[in-house]
Every structure is written in C-alpha cells, then in structure tokens.
Amino acid sequence: MTSVWRTSGWVLLGASLILALSLGIRHGFGLFLTPMSAEFGWGREVFAFAIALQNLIWGLAQPVTGAIADRYGARRVIAVGGVLYAAGLLLMAFADSAASLSLSAGLLIGIGLSGTSFSVLLGVVGRAVPMEKRSMAMGMAAAAGSFGQFAMLPGSLGLIGWLGWSAALLALGLLVALIVPLALLVRDQPLPSLGVEQSLGQALREACTHSGFWLLALGFFVCGFQVVFIGVHLPAYLVDQHLAAKVGTTVLALVGLFNVFGTYIAGWLGGRMSKPRLLTALYLLRTLVIVAFVYSPLSEWSAYAFGVAMGLLWLSTVPLTNGTVATLFGVRNLSMLGGIVFLFHQLGAFLGGWLGGYLYDHTGSYEMVWQLSILLGLLAAALNWPVREQPVERLRVVPAA
C-alpha cells in the first residue's frame, strides 16, 4: 500500500503541475484580446473566433488523445501536447492576420491542450488512486489547474506591460515547454486485462446507449459556454462599463484563486454525496450569481464579489462530471469517454467564445449573451438531476476496471 501511495503521489504531483501550467496560461488569453485587436485594427470577433476555434479543436481532438492515452499510456501524449502548445504560443507571438492567429492560437494550441488538460490527466489520476479516493484526487488535480489561473493571470498581465504582448507570448511559450520534462512524473500504463476485455467499439456503444452519459455531456456543454464567454470577454466587458483594466484581471485571478477551494471541496463532497445532484446545485448557484452580477449596480467591489462567487463554482463541475463517468463505466476507458463528454464542453466553449464577439460587434453589447448564459444554466441544472450514479451492468458482474 505504501508503494501504491508513493507512485500515485508522484502521478498526482506531475498531473497537478502540468494542469497548473496548461490551464493557467490558457485562462489568460483574454488579456491579449484588447492589445492585439487594437494593434491590427481587428474587431473583437477576430480574436474571439480564434479562441473559439481553439476550444473546438481541443474538444474534437480530446476523444482521440484520450483513447491513445487509455491504450498506450499518457506520457507520450502529454509530451507531444506540450510541444504543440509551446509551438502555438511562439507562432501566436508573430500572428498578424486572422488566418495566422487561427492557425496558432486556434489549431496548434487547441491540439496541444487536448494532450495536457483534464481528460488525459484526470484519466491518469483516476487509474493511479484507489476508487474511494478517486473523486478527491481529481478535485485536487483540478484545483491545481485553478491555482495556475490565479498565479498566471497577474504574471501574464505583468509580462504584457513589461515586454509587450508579442514578447509576453514568447515567454509563456518557454514556460509551457516545461510540460515536456514534467511528463516524466506521470507514470501511467494501461490497466491489465481482467479476462473480459472491452474493445474500443464496445466501450463507445455502451456509453452511447446510456442516457446518463448524454445528460452529463449536454450539461457540460453549458459549463463550457459559460466559462469561456466569461474568461475571454469579462475583462473587455468591465472596461466597457468604465472600470479599470486591472479590475478584469483581478476578477479572473480571484476566479482562479477561489476555484482552488471550489474544486477541492467539490471533489471531497463527490466522494460523500450524489455527484449529479451536486452538479445540479452548482449550475443553479452559477445562474443566481450571474443574475446578481448582471442586474445589480456594477462597481469594482461587485465585480470582485462576482469573481469570488464564480470562482467557487468555476471548474467544480470537472471532478464531479469525470467522477460520475468513472462510476458509470469504470476507468479503463476514462480518458476517451471523459474526452467525449469534454467535446460537448468545448462545443459550448466555441459557441460562448465566438458568440460573445459576434454579438458584441453586431449589437455593441454583451446583454444577449448574458441572458443566454442564464437560460442555459437553468437547463444544465435540469439535465443533471435525473442522472443516477449506478455502474453499468458489466461492472456489477466484473470488478471495476
């Protein structure tokens, strides 16, 4: 047992550091919207589309990278993802057109994120720790990603102010390159066969005929829509409301800081309570927070309060959603199945990121997108309520794998 915990401890450390770098830098992309758009005379839709494309490519690639990690181990997937992510940042530093921005920030970084983010890393963690500790360990790893957001947002803003946006991206590319050696900490091997080996096709058919799988996926669509719209457009929204630029950065940093606690608590609660019911509560609370923020008088302090409240609910959905998938179907194909659910998250992310820029450029306001976020939050709460945490029949006959 001591050997098991020593191994899983190193895996958890490596996964946490990789998520902190990968997601911490990714959450700061909204800071580049204003300086890049101003320098090249773009409307907000150009930058918003590139980030939306990034989320779409990330989602489309995620089931593939997840399946490779499940079958052959995650280390190579993470290392290749780190290389592509760093290359995307380096090319983004020299992007001077919509096409080059979409290629770098959209395509390359999107593929890189698919190998260095939640589905692959939480799949590794899920296989490394005992079942009774799985939800909490996933919460700890997700919390590390949130701490990266808290730490990297002020750092990214400081780099932009000190070096300019282009050199700041070069510096961030060098930081992301650290993911490659960190992948050595992630000792992940495919699970041994238990005699009744499930093929990839069988795993897909089993999940696709399970109503809970689709309800989780559709609920996760809403999560992606909300967090990417807020992450990309909130700084510009607050500037439009005549608040200083540093307020938006501070709000997003507060989101990252308090999400450290939120994701850990969600993972801890997920080991003791119904994870789908917790998801319902989270989406309802998010909706209430957005309503209070949008329809109350806006000030610097109300913006900070929004960051704190939203931070507690930000990525708390991740350990609960992935933990439910693991309970339903086991962990052998967790990175792939979690990747499919995450694809829906990224479809929502694409729509939230792009639609925010599109509607702003055509209406001069984010009002319609805020209203849509509220309606979708209510829908997500309703979708997660009927999901039942009961393993499929295969796992009630054969020990969970």
**pTM of the predicted protein model:** 0.78
CA–CA separation, 264 and 147 (whole Å): 11
Ranges of each domain in the chain: 3-186+200-386
pLDDT in tens, 208-237: 888 889 999 999 999 999 998 998 889 889
pLDDT exceeds cutoff 50 at 124: yes
pLDDT in tens, 146-178: 788 778 878 888 899 899 999 999 999 999 999
For the segment 130-147, the average pLDDT, to the nearest whole number, is 74
pLDDT in tens, 18-45: 988 998 898 788 788 888 988 888 877 7
How would DSSP label each residue in 222-248? HHHHHHHHHHHHHHHHHHHTT--HHHH
For the segment 240-267, the average pLDDT, to the nearest whole number, is 85
For the segment 254-282, the average pLDDT, to the nearest whole number, is 87
Q: How many CA atoms lie within 13 A of 5 on its CB side?
A: 3
pLDDT exceeds cutoff 60 at 115: yes
- Three-point CA angle 308, 368, 51, nearest 5°: 70
User: For 401, which DSSP code?
Assistant: -
- Pair of tokens at residue 365: 């306001």
CATH topology of domain 3-186+200-386: Growth Hormone; Chain: A; (1.20.1250)
Phi, psi at 337, each rounded to 5°? -65, -40
Please report the pLDDT score of residue 6 as a whole number. Answer: 57
CA–CA separation, 358 and 352 (whole Å): 10
Average of per-residue pLDDT values in the chain: 85
pLDDT in tens, 190-214: 555 554 566 777 888 888 888 889 9
Please report the pLDDT score of residue 358 as a whole number. Answer: 85
For the segment 74-93, the average pLDDT, to the nearest whole number, is 94
Q: Which residue has the tokens 């039942």?
A: 388
